[in-house]
Structure 1
Amino acid sequence: MMAADGWYIYTGREVVPRHVTRVRIHESLTVIPARAFQGNLDIEELDCHDRVKTVEENAFYCCFSLRIVIMPGVTVVERYAFDNCNALTDVECDKLERIGYEAFSWCKSLTIINLPSAKIVERYAFAHCEALTNVIFGKELESIGEWAFYCCTSLEQITIPLNDGIITDDSIFGVCEKLKHIDLVEGEQLRDTIAALLLEEWKNDMNDKLGVINQSLPTTPAGDEYEDVGEKALAIRRWIRTVLRNIDRYKAQHHSYLNEAATTLQLALPQDIVIKNVLSFLELPSYTFEGED
């Protein structure tokens, strides 16, 4: 049915009439059904209320005119849901947790996507998004599947958490030759931790290790379309492990030195003074990083 403001209200039981360009999901729906808009050549904008939680498979497959998708409550986008939406440029999906197989593949106009709640990115999820330059994940990210960004030939920058498990396969950034910069979600907390380390040589070493990936990544091979899957994902995984291993080592050494100092102070000062006025200033920032030691 058509609303007074010109939006078509989709109730989940009908074929949307031709020439409808703006669709709003009815308040009664929490799921956009499989193949609901598949092949619709007219729809340009989709507006979901925050109780819509799932976009099922092929729901907007080959909707070539779809440009704007607002889905603030959606947590799951299933396989092929927005595959081949060539005109798609704007996606609001702050609650999105799982991105299915080829869910956004061949979205050739998508340039930036912000995925603060994403946990699982499945195989080929953003493959062939040729205009995609920047991907921003949040701290919840658990894994990125193989070939997830395959042939994203414009991809330059990605923001990820410092978690050893997220880079699951060397193929993730195949043919992403322009990928040159990695940002960390925990960047500010990590800098605070480094700044609080006891010795200057530890700080310098950690800052060097943090910066090395963005020095080496521009010249690290991405592989071609036919044989080599490239080394960028491998380089990122190794870098994450190195940073985690070294920050854990320096934090342990830091605590060892300070424990020795605290023991000495306890011999010279009353215990209550040490507890209230000394120990609280000896601790590193409480943030802990995920991953293997």
Structure 2
Amino acid sequence: MLGIKHNQHTNLYARKCNMKKHLSALVLAVAMILSAISGVLAEDITTCTDSNGIVYQLSEDSSYLILKNAINTTGPLTVPSEIEYEGKLYTVKEIASKAFCGSTATTITLPSTLTYVGDMAFAYCPQLTKVSFGRSKVALGNRVFAGSPNLAGITNYSGVEKIGYGVFDGTEWLRTKSISTVDSAVYLGKVLVAYFGNASSFNISTSCTSIAPNAFNGNTTLTSIDLSNVKSVGSSAFEDCINLSSVTFGNSLVEIGSYAFDGCSSLGGEITLSDTCEKLGAFAFSKTSVETADLSKTKIESIGNGTFKNCDYLNSVILPESTKHIGNYSFQGDSFLSDINAQNVLTIGYDAFRDCSILSDKEYFENVESVLSGAFDGTIIYEDVNGSALVIGKTLYKTEETEINLAVADGVKSISPYAFYAAETAQLLALPTSLESIDEKAFISLSDGTIFVFTKNEQVYSDLESLTSGTIYVPEGNTIENENVSVGYITGITITKNPVKTEYTYNENFDPTGIEIEVNTVLNGKESSYNISQIGYEPSYTYNFSASPIVTVSYCGYETTVITSIKFTSVPGDVNRDKNVTSDDILLLRKYIAGLVSEKEVDLIASDIDGTIGVNSDDLLLLRKVVAGLVSLK
């Protein structure tokens, strides 16, 4: 049953909607029979229509109703606060976009339950003259009443907290307000809708918490404004206010919309935003003269596209830990930018720092996992390419080699668009186990090559499916679905040339100079190997010369060994290497056997007193006898 809490005619409406409900039930029954035959489940019916022809729809969580369509309504109308649907009362909380657009309704009374009115909900209603709100907290979308020329009366609007752009464009209400308001400012509830004055400084009402989009757009006389009580600054609110030089932000600011201060060329000095701020829109401060942007206390997670683009004097940006993304061209053209703490940033968009000509420190971006093309072109950082690979954070950003001979460092997670834009062939390219993604345009010019893919990441395999020729080697048990390339398998690594230095004492570090390694492969049943020692590979070496002459060489998940020789200069029993055998050695050896100290803190050769290869309690007992003078070591 569908009922409406509306007026004295509620029962009449309930009966009329009841018939619609029975009809819907009949339709549903037929649909269920048909779906049973076809094996397809019928969709739930989530809309209902009242006797005025107004369509309501359940919200996604089925907790309230949205007035969806009322374009056929005429005359005066009161939107109900509640509707009974299928035996349950639902609150009407929203009016959908274009719900009344073009209707011939004359007056509209909105319920106190309403929280949101969608874009153009009452736009182009030629006979609409009056709208009464329900005093509840409500937000209005874009152009809600635009193009309704006879709308002159707006009442009970004290609960309006936020509005979109152009809400009253072309209405009599805004025209009248623009010429009759005392201080040249038009308010709707807590929103400053528009300012028509020419004062250099303007005091916003203390009850105002929101500046509407375009409210001051293009004002050339305003030089300062206090936004201490404002929570929301709308899109383009102060755009092209070219003489605005001072803005005071308060501790309640939540968001600044896109283009809010774009083109405010006189706005300089430092901008500091409070810990309540959560959003900074695209181009919000573009083309300003801001020198320092302190966002450290905010909760901003993403710097929008072009937010600080072409800020000629910006030299320092302090980001909060919450910022993980920097958008496209966010700081493009900021030629004085030299300092930005981006250590928590993970992704950087197109041209984000392009032409930031003195930006030089890669360490600011040490944790970045994805960088899109052009982000660092025109910076000192980009000059580090110098014909080789430029890695920024965990991203291979670019190489200018025309022929690739490169082992991408382990730890790199992504390869940027156009990273190998100049490369036509890959004589030898090794991709590490850490790699997670390759942009589809990374190898845009590559026509042939040999690529070792050490990672087992399926996304990387998918990204390589666009290659049109060449040979790709992957770990055994994996494959790449690409008929245009030959796919072989990596079977291991082999040392083909030992290091120059092979003799060590217990406390020396291993020197890999001269060592050469080959990757072993098989392709179509034929074994082969490739020398990767000349392409900048970075293997790791594990050793402990106080215990063993063996060095383990690891590269991208594969291992081999080097056998060295060790000069045994140890004195038996001299566990702590102080050239004496005393009770201190007994104490240290006892701690080592108990697991209280690591093997790096003891001379394991000297500790193996009984010569049985291995250090245990027998060696400790013998050492006690040596120190006590009961036995001697020769």
1:113 CA drift (Å)? 1.8
* Partner of residue 62, structure 1: 218
Residue of structure 2 aligned with 1:30, choices 175, 180, 190 = 190
Conserved in 1, the CA contact under 8 Å of 2:299 and 2:322?
Answer: no
Equivalent residues in 2 for 1:16-55 (5 A)? 29-33=189-193, 36-37=194-195, 40=197, 42-55=198-211
3-state SS of the aligned residue for 1:135? strand
* Partner of residue 287, structure 1: none
Note if 1:171 corresponds to 2:329: yes
1:88 CA drift (Å)? 0.9
Alpha carbons of structure 1 residues 63 and 16: separation in structure 2 relative to 1, 3 Å:
farther
1:229 CA drift (Å)? 5.2
* Partner of residue 253, structure 2: 96
TM-score (norm 1): 0.53
Aligned partners of 1:37 and 1:97: how far apart in 2? 22
TM-score (norm 2): 0.26
Conserved in 2, the CA contact under 8 Å of 1:102 and 1:125?
Answer: yes
Alpha carbons of structure 1 residues 75 and 240: separation in structure 2 relative to 1, 3 Å:
farther
Conserved in 1, the CA contact under 8 Å of 2:184 and 2:195?
Answer: no
Note if 1:113 corresponds to 2:271: yes
Residue of structure 1 aligned with 2:319, choices 136, 160, 181 = 160
Conserved in 2, the CA contact under 8 Å of 1:164 and 1:240?
Answer: no
Conserved in 2, the CA contact under 8 Å of 1:175 and 1:230?
Answer: no
Residue of structure 2 aligned with 1:14, choices 177, 180, 187 = 177
* Partner of residue 228, structure 2: 72
Alpha carbons of structure 1 residues 216 and 37: separation in structure 2 relative to 1, 3 Å:
same
3-state SS of the aligned residue for 1:15? helix
Alpha carbons of structure 1 residues 228 and 65: separation in structure 2 relative to 1, 3 Å:
farther
State the aligned residue count.
187
Alpha carbons of structure 1 residues 163 and 24: separation in structure 2 relative to 1, 3 Å:
same
What letter matches 2:190 in structure 1? T
Aligned partners of 2:293 and 2:179: how far apart in 1? 32
Conserved in 2, the CA contact under 8 Å of 1:105 and 1:127?
Answer: yes
1:144 CA drift (Å)? 1.3
Alpha carbons of structure 1 residues 63 and 239: separation in structure 2 relative to 1, 3 Å:
farther
**Higher mean displacement: 169-178 or 99-108:** 169-178
* Partner of residue 285, structure 2: 126
Aligned partners of 2:318 and 2:179: how far apart in 1? 38
Conserved in 2, the CA contact under 8 Å of 1:49 and 1:71?
Answer: no
Q: For 1:202-248, what per-residue CA distance to the aligned partner results, in whole angstroms no more than 9, with x for missing partners? A: xxxxxxxxxxxx8617xx9xxxxxx955467x99xx6699xxxxxxx
Aligned partners of 1:120 and 1:173: how far apart in 2? 17
1:118 CA drift (Å)? 2.2
Q: For 1:157-193, what per-residue CA distance to the aligned partner results, in whole angstroms no more than 9, with x for missing partners? A: 112112352x332421111121111258x9xxxxxxx
Structure 1 segments (4+ residues) deviating >6 Å: 24-28, 238-241
Conserved in 2, the CA contact under 8 Å of 1:173 and 1:230?
Answer: no
Aligned partners of 2:294 and 2:216: how far apart in 1? 23
* Partner of residue 85, structure 1: 241
Residue of structure 1 aligned with 2:361, choices 203, 209, 216 = 216
What letter matches 1:136 in structure 2? D
3-state SS of the aligned residue for 2:178? coil
Residue of structure 2 aligned with 1:135, choices 280, 293, 304 = 293
Aligned partners of 1:47 and 1:24: how far apart in 2? 11
1:24 CA drift (Å)? 9.3
**Higher mean displacement: 79-88 or 90-99:** 90-99
Aligned partners of 1:105 and 1:28: how far apart in 2? 25
Aligned partners of 1:108 and 1:228: how far apart in 2? 26
Alpha carbons of structure 1 residues 110 and 164: separation in structure 2 relative to 1, 3 Å:
closer
* Partner of residue 305, structure 2: 146
**More helix as a share of residues:** 1
Q: Which has the higher contact order (CA 8 A, sep 6+)?
A: 1
Conserved in 2, the CA contact under 8 Å of 1:105 and 1:124?
Answer: yes
Alpha carbons of structure 1 residues 27 and 86: separation in structure 2 relative to 1, 3 Å:
closer
Unpaired segments of 5 or more residues in structure 2? 1-173, 345-358, 366-372, 383-391, 396-595, 597-634
3-state SS of the aligned residue for 2:215? coil
1:30 CA drift (Å)? 1.4
Of all paired residues, the percent bearing the same amino acid is 20
Aligned partners of 2:266 and 2:394: how far apart in 1? 31
Conserved in 1, the CA contact under 8 Å of 2:185 and 2:195?
Answer: no
1:46 CA drift (Å)? 2.0
3-state SS of the aligned residue for 1:133? strand
Conserved in 1, the CA contact under 8 Å of 2:232 and 2:255?
Answer: yes
1:135 CA drift (Å)? 1.1
Alpha carbons of structure 1 residues 16 and 92: separation in structure 2 relative to 1, 3 Å:
farther
1:139 CA drift (Å)? 3.2
Aligned partners of 1:158 and 1:143: how far apart in 2? 14
3-state SS of the aligned residue for 1:109? coil
Conserved in 2, the CA contact under 8 Å of 1:126 and 1:150?
Answer: yes
What letter matches 1:100 in structure 2? G
Unpaired segments of 5 or more residues in structure 1? 1-11, 187-213, 221-226, 242-263, 265-293
Alpha carbons of structure 1 residues 164 and 133: separation in structure 2 relative to 1, 3 Å:
closer
1:26 CA drift (Å)? 9.4
Larger CA Rg, structure 1 vs 2: 2
Conserved in 1, the CA contact under 8 Å of 2:186 and 2:195?
Answer: no
> Aligned-pair RMSD on alpha carbons?
4.0
Aligned partners of 1:173 and 1:87: how far apart in 2? 23
